[in-house]
Amino acid sequence: MKLSNRLMAIANFVPKNSIVADIGTDHGYIPVYLVENNISKKVIGTDISKGSLDKIIEYIKNLNLEHKIDARLGDGLEVIKPYEIDTVIIAGMGGLLIRDILEKDKEVTDSIVNFILQPMVAAKELREYLVENSFEIIKEELVKEDNKYYEIILAKKGKSYIDKEIYYEISHLLIKEKHPLLKELTQFRLRELEKIAEDIKDIDTEKSKERYVEVTSKIRDYKEVLKEIES
């Protein structure tokens, strides 16, 4: 089983010998990769969609991995018991849905050690939630696949402090390590903001004026971050 860059980066965050749940596993590639490569002895793959789950059950049956991968149908962490796993993967969903899943079954969330999270959108809101709810972001990874950027977050319970608002949007850990993809991601987002600013600059409504101030302030922050990356 060969994983895509995005899935590989997620799997690379899984500590050896951990007991993992992959919430919203869909195709089931991560559970299969983790057991086939002896990273995990047992993986629970879950999905809210019966169609996805049936596919996984068929897939693991064909690979004779039913004794190592447990497929469960259900919403988020509701199908996991407290202390049943030490590592959770929630990937390929929006940041707000990931946040809601962590928030909904608190007893289970509180019993997990490693949180590997890959939001498709709203990474900023997810980081805000993590920092405000006693998680510590330990490490981040950034990958590019099919011309899209993916941010992968490894968090644990703990305290963290983010000293500039912009670091919720652009990971200060990636800035610190001068991640090779971060400059192009920042430039890409900066171009998008500049396009928005250009489009709305002459619109004479209260809402557009407010948005323009917001966007130009963000452009300044992005330029500051670019300086940090280049320094």
Ligand X SMILES: C[S@@+](CC[C@H](N)C(=O)[O-])C[C@H]1O[C@@H](n2cnc3c(N)ncnc32)[C@H](O)[C@@H]1O
Q: Which residues is 156 bridged to in the sheet?
A: 136
Beta carbons of 138 and 131 less than 8 angstroms apart: no
CB of 76 to ligand X, least distance (A): 4
Task: Please check whether residue 116 is in contact with residue 10, taking contact to mean a CB–CB distance below 8 angstroms.
Answer: yes
Specify whether the CB–CB gap between 46 and 21 falls below 8 A.
Answer: yes
Is 76 a binder of ligand X (CB under 6 A)? yes
| Total interface residues for ligand X by CB under 6 A | 16
Smaller CB separation from ligand X, 90 or 225: 90
Site for ligand X contains 26 (CB under 6 A): yes
Q: Which residues contact 80 (CB under 8 A, 6 or more apart)?
A: 21, 44, 46, 72, 88, 105, 108
Helix or strand or coil: residue 114? strand
Closer CB to ligand X, 54 or 224, in the complex: 54
Tell the smallest beta-carbon distance from residue 118 to ligand X (Å). 6
> Binding residue for ligand X (CB under 6 A) from 24, 45, 95, 119?
24
What burial letters (b/e) apply to 109-148, b meaning 16+ CB within 10 Å?
bebbebbbbbbeebbbbbbbbbbeeebebebbbbbeeeee
With CB under 6 A as the contact rule, which of the stretches 44-52, 139-147, 155-163, 187-195 interacts with ligand X?
Answer: 44-52
* Site pattern 144..183 for ligand X (x: CB under 6 A): ----------------------------------------
Q: Is 75 in the site for ligand X (CB under 6 A)?
A: yes
Residues that bind ligand X (CB under 6 A): 23-26, 46-49, 52, 75-76, 91-93, 97, 101
